[in-house]
Amino acid sequence: MIEFKAVSKQYPTGQLALYNVNLSMQQGEMAFLTGHSGAGKSTLLKLIALLDSPTEGTVTIAGQDTHYIKQRKIPDFRRNIGVIFQDHHLLKDRTVFENIALPLKIEGMRPHDIKRRVRAALDKVDLLKKEKEYPQMLSAGEKQRVGIARAVVNKPSIILADEPTGNLDPDLALDIMHTFKQFNEYGSTVLIASHDHSLIKEMKKRIIVLRKVKQ
Amino acid sequence: MSATYKPENSRVATRITHHKEAINYSLTRLWQSQASTWITLAAIAIALSLPASLHLFLKNLKSLTDDKREVPTVSLFIKQGITEQQARDRGELLAELTEIDKVVLIPKSEALEQFRKVTGIAETLETLDENPLPHVLVVTPRMNLISGDTINMQKLANKLENYPEVDLVQMDIEWVQRLRAILRIVERTIMVISILLALTVLLVIGNTIRLDIQNRKEEIEVSKLIGATSAYIRRPFIYSGIWYGLFGGILSLVIVHIALFSLISPVNELASLYASDFSISGLGIKMTLYILLGSSLLGMIGAWLAVGRHLKTTTLT
């Protein structure tokens, strides 16, 4: 499903974010990506989400070498990847419903289908009663769950989360992790970048450790 | 991962849904920020109404010169003592010439009547023993003779002057030619002004869209992150540009027509003083459509350039 072969990434500033990374994830697998700050966790997720490209090596997603994916095909590709950010990236001027509906609108889905799918996603993250509220009216945990609902609403094959529990208290963080586990059980491949070791241990899933490159 | 994207709708239906959504969204945004929308529309309307007004002015001026004088004529004043029948015979002979299209005789009695009507000095004319006006043959040359070659026109005048019945030859082309030359300069000037103002409209709309993009930077980034194509992101802005152009165009037409209505009465009054039946004409359906189409197109181009620039320079993080 996801395969990194001798992948290195050096930014134009000269900073070497990843060096000779080899990684393989099967379809339907759930794993945690951990490592010290600056170890390249976010960079690795960006390479999978096609937000960046490696300077060396090959990244293969679903059998496709990402290097050969045409620029105009990237949006189609991204629609199959749900990304969750630490700071949610929710649109403040849209309601919870509208935020979650965005990926479906981009797909060009009919309004009644959108309604059905958004409601189902809201139900999964237990926020059905909050659909008409705006992000600023929600707690940090609720915002993160809206972010998760938006990432999974179009049933992506891969779910990537970058420090999704960074700002949450331990109970809420565990709750969020269980939500990810639930989506993994539905068949999505889930990769979560986190440095919360106790939480990662508790989930009893594969752990991928990235070590900081010595410059 | 299913590498190929399988939409639930067909591609055409998806496109239609996207366009509907972009239309609704762009119109809603214009409505939501009414103050800035009106300011932008006013700027566009003023910029567009100037060339539209100048065009209208030119159109009316042209209609004045075209009035019965599309083809320049040569007036032959017949010598005193030549009878109406002799003048008519000469006219018929002249009409046979290859370089002449038609000849119209204005008998002196008819000329006097016209003179009386136009000048309003009927009482003075009553005091004269006989009609002092000559018979006039109005000669219309063939168009190919006068198209751009005035030397031939002069030759014709010289030839006509040699006929024994002819007292004086007067070419009625000069003032038309001069006016047309002036109109050509005015036309070019209007064209230059129109191009400059079109560029202004382009910049106004482009800048408005650029500001709108800045306000929606986060939304654009999030949309791109979750798989929006450049076309999807561009679409609502393009529609906004079209609305700005179209509504600005409509507003400019309103301004031009208000100005036009205020001019109708004084122009008619002036025309009546010159015994002319001239009246101001409006832009017409064709020109109205051109203005609306042109302004919408300018809006679209302005928006396209602004979004294109943004999409090129934005990198996702």
What's at A110, amino acid-wise? Answer: R
pLDDT of residue A25: 93
Q: Are strands A30-35 and A206-210 parallel, antiparallel or unpaired?
A: parallel
Instruction: Inform me whether the pLDDT recorded for B262 exceeds 80.
Output: yes
pLDDT of residue B2: 43
- Report field, pTM of the whole predicted structure over 0.80: no
CB burial class (10 A; 0-12, 13-18, 19+) of residue B113? Answer: middle
**Which CA distances in Å does B180 have to A156, A204, B143, B185?**
70, 91, 16, 9
HSE value, Cβ hemisphere, 13 Å, CA-based, for A118 = 24
Contact A62 B8 (CB under 8 A): no
Q: A106 to chain B: which residues are within 8 Å by CB?
A: 223, 226-229, 232
What chain B residue is nearest to A80 in terms of C-alpha separation? Answer: B1
pLDDT of residue B254: 95
Helices (H), A79-214: 96-107, 111-124, 140-152, 170-185, 197-203
Kindly state whether B219 is in contact with chain A, defined as any CB-CB distance less than 8 angstroms: yes
| Closest of B219, B240, B217 to residue B25, by C-alpha | B240
Q: Which of B63-67, B129-133, B213-217 has the highest mean pLDDT?
A: B213-217
What chain B residue is nearest to A154 in terms of C-alpha separation? Answer: B226
What chain A residue is nearest to B8 in terms of C-alpha separation? Answer: A109
Q: Which of A19-23, A138-142, B220-224, B278-282 has the lowest mean pLDDT?
A: B278-282
Q: A150 to chain B: which residues are within 8 Å by CB?
A: 226
Q: A117 to chain B: which residues are within 8 Å by CB?
A: none
The residue among A2, A78, A98, A104 with the most chain B CBs within 10 A of its CB, best to mutate, is A78
Domain locations along chain A: 1-80+156-215, 91-155
Is residue B9 a contact partner of residue A110, using CB atoms and an 8 Å limit?
yes
Does the domain at B74-171 match CATH 3.30.70.3040? Answer given as yes
Closest chain A C-alpha to B7 CA, distance in angstroms: 7
Task: Tell me what the mean pLDDT of segment A80-88 comes to.
Answer: 85
Kindly state whether A75 is in contact with chain B, defined as any CB-CB distance less than 8 angstroms: yes
Instruction: Label residue B135 by pLDDT band (50, 70, 90).
Output: very high
Numbered ranges of CATH 3.30.70.3040 in chain B: 74-171
Kindly state whether B5 is in contact with chain A, defined as any CB-CB distance less than 8 angstroms: yes
Q: How far apart are CA B223 and CA A91, in angstroms?
A: 10
Fold entry, domain A1-80+156-215: Rossmann fold (3.40.50)
Kindly state whether A98 is in contact with chain B, defined as any CB-CB distance less than 8 angstroms: no
Contact A72 B316 (CB under 8 A): no
Task: Tell me what the mean pLDDT of segment B230-235 comes to.
Answer: 91
Kindly state whether A91 is in contact with chain B, defined as any CB-CB distance less than 8 angstroms: yes
